[in-house]
Copies of this chain bind each other. A is one copy, B any other.
Amino acid sequence: MLIDEQTLPALARGCSVLGAGGGGDVHTGLLACRQAVETYGPVPVVELDELPDGDMIMPCGYIGAPTVSIEKLGSSHEGEWLREGLEELTGRTVAALMAAEIGGSNGLQPIGWAASLGLPIADADGMGRAFPLVPQVTMEIAGIDPSPGVLTDERGNRLTINASDGQWLERIARTLSIEFGGRAASTEYTMTVAQARSATARGTVTLATEIGRAMLDADEPVAALADAISLRCLIEGKVVDVERQVTGGFVRGAAVIEGLREDAGRMLRLEIQNENLVAIEDGVVRAMVPDIITVLDTHTGAPIHTERLRYGQRVTAVAFPCHEIWRTDGGLALAGPRAFGYEFDYTPIEELA
């Protein structure tokens, strides 16, 4: 598969759906990628099975608050600086880029960087969705060392990080993203192709593109999405309240959706840390991390990222299963409800009423 100007809108839509409200609004990411693909040509999507075992995979993306990302644009050199930094550090050559998270703009951004570097993009990512924290990746569960990491900004500040563990990598990268104005580009959890085959969520670039294509080709995109993946509709209604602030390098807050039509009289509350974490109705949890909760525009089907939620939007909130690795003990320890401070255990969306 090649990602070109025709494929990009479908991929962007799919990334947005998989983003659980986070990973950054795809609008500016799509513009940046379109420009890169126009300038440097399309980007080949490679299967990890097709690459030599010992080649190096560079997971990458932006860290920060999505609210900032939609206004603070990159310089287009970040991908080059990340690769240079990583190759100098390791003395090895990057064979392919990979989105650290497929969700939101972070699923797209590595494509723009890959285009300018003349490198392919791996058909995989580190989450199968978006999560707020750097170590909330499948590579952490697989025991890949998060260090060395490389971090840069649009001014050309360039850092290499050897952190004592994944939590410290998160703290260091987060505090630097704040100092840089709310966003930094970074790579962590570098690995070989052989490692990546079992340490990543596979096939997610293809999945995102297929989801997006199904929706963009359809007259009724929400229904088309429900046909494409195993989906639960949480509520159809109107956004009646949004609290949101950028704090500690994250977007945090909550939104309330009041049901309309068949759902009239119902109220659903979404709690947010960059992504939609839990959906609660009358004190009952209707969906929870690591399953994916996404809010769609009821008419266009376009996902509304958490930083774009506002009063009056007509929306349909949906939830669907996360990648199976997040349902293991290791996955839940890293990204289950308790990892976000909730005092309840995970129940898969399929088992919730």
Chain B residues whose CB sits within 8 angstroms of the CB of A178 once the complex forms: 175
Contact indicator A159/B172 (Cβ below 8 Å): yes
Pick the residue among B155, B156, B160, B179 that contacts A159 (CB under 8 A).
Answer: B160
| Residues from chain B with Cβ under 8 Å of A158 in the complex | 161-162
Give the contact stretch, choosing among A3-11, A42-50, A163-171. Answer: A163-171
Q: Is the CB of B161 within 8 A of A156?
A: no
The yes or no answer to A157 lying at the interface (CB within 8 A) is yes
Interface residues on A, range: 10 to 19
Distance between A231 CB and nearest chain B CB, rounded to angstroms: 40
User: For residue A160, which residues in chain B have a CB less than 8 angstroms away from its CB?
Assistant: 159-160
Let me know if A176 is at the binding interface, CB within 8 A: yes
A171 touches B164 (CB 8 A): no
Given contacts A172-B179, A179-B175, contact A159 B157 (CB under 8 A): no
The main secondary structure of chain A at its interface with chain B is mixed
- Known A178-B175, A179-B172, A179-B175; judge A164-B159 contact (CB<8 A): no
Smallest CB-CB separation from A179: which chain B residue? B175
> A253 to chain B: closest CB distance in Å?
24
Between A155, A160, A168, A175, the greatest number of chain B beta carbons within 10 A of the residue's beta carbon is seen for A160
* Bound Cα distance A201, B175 (Å): 34
Best-surrounded residue of A157, A164, A168 (most CB of chain B within 10 A): A157
> What separation, in Å, do the CA atoms of A164 and B154 have in the docked complex?
10
Q: Which of A152-208 contact B (CB under 8 A)?
A: 155-164, 168, 171-172, 175-176, 178-179
For A156, what are the chain B residues with a Cβ–Cβ distance below 8 Å?
Answer: 162, 164
Chain B residue contacts of A179, Cβ below 8 A: 171-172, 175
Residues of B within 8 A of A171 (CB): 179
Instruction: Provide the A1-28 mask, 1 if CB < 8 A to any CB of B, else 0.
Output: 0000000000000000000000000000
| Interchain CB contact under 8 A, B157 and A168 | yes
Q: How far is the CA of A168 from the CA of B171 in the complex (A)?
A: 19
Q: Most B CB atoms within 10 A — which of A155, A172, A178?
A: A172
Top 5 nearest A-B pairs (CB, nearest first) are: A175-B179, A158-B162, A160-B160, A155-B164, A156-B164
Query: Could you list some 19 contacts between A and B, CB below 8 A?
Result: A155-B164, A155-B168, A156-B162, A157-B162, A157-B163, A157-B164, A157-B168, A157-B172, A158-B161, A159-B159, A159-B161, A159-B162, A159-B172, A160-B160, A171-B179, A172-B179, A175-B176, A175-B178, A176-B176
